[in-house]
Amino acid sequence: MRRSWQAGWIATALCALPLVAGAQEAAPAPEPAATVNAVWVERKVNFTYMPLTSYYSCDGLRDKVRWILGQLGAKPGFTVRSRGCLELTGPEAFPGVEIVAAFPAEATPELLQQLADEASKRQLAARAAGKPDPVTEATAQFPARVKRVEFQSGRTTLSDLQDGDCELMEQLVRNDVFGKLGARVVDAQTRCVPRQVTLGAVRMAVEVLEPVSAE
């Protein structure tokens, strides 16, 4: 009787295996993010870093912020300039940067009107210089979709984002630098301890629009 019960249980389990495998194969793939019409919007943001633990030189802060903008997908040609620097070399007490960068933004009627109004003020000067019409250029639309950019420190020793960058990332969020550039912070987990570097201190996710190729 015991052997008969075991044999029946094994047979039932074996019969169920194809059903489980079939259920796994039938799982739907995640759908791609929907596209929207977007335009490039250039913004200017000033940021001053106030350290307690990690200190940067003027060039070091500039290069770190430039790398972050590159990861987010800023339009080529963006600039990051040092400001408020006193030391010629070495760590700076309160280094700052001036960011001029363009990111895609959804082409709402309000935004298009705002861009057209701003561009029209420069239209006469552009025509005199033989440059493209700023109204047409500012309101040129293209398809874009949301992409998620992950920032994690301490993954490898060669990573561009180190655990010592915790204060910088925390202050970029606190001063709404991402938001002023048109990005959205959806997850900001930073474990910054004054005068101490914590392993795995930064885990952040930022969403931005990115251009997509028309199919």
Domain locations along the chain: 36-211
pLDDT for 25: 56
d(CA 83, CA 150): 28
Tens of pLDDT, residue by residue over 154-213, are 876 557 899 999 999 999 999 999 999 999 999 999 999 999 999 999 999 999 999 998
Task: Grade residue 89 by pLDDT with cuts at 50, 70 and 90.
Answer: confident
In the predicted model, what is the mean pLDDT of the chain? 84
Using DSSP's 3-state secondary structure scheme, residue 132 falls into coil
> Residue 19 above 50 pLDDT?
no
> What's the DSSP call for residue 196?
B
Kindly report, residue by residue over 25-36, the tens digit of the pLDDT: 555 655 667 999
Residue in 130, 161, 150, 122 with CA at minimum distance from that of residue 42: 122
Its pTM stands at 0.78
pLDDT on residue 26: 56
Cβ-based burial of 103 (10 A; exposed 0-12, middle 13-18, buried ≥19): buried
Least confident among 90-104, 106-120, 173-187: 106-120
Does residue 38 have a pLDDT over 70?
yes
CA angle, residues 194, 157, 154, in degrees to nearest 5: 45
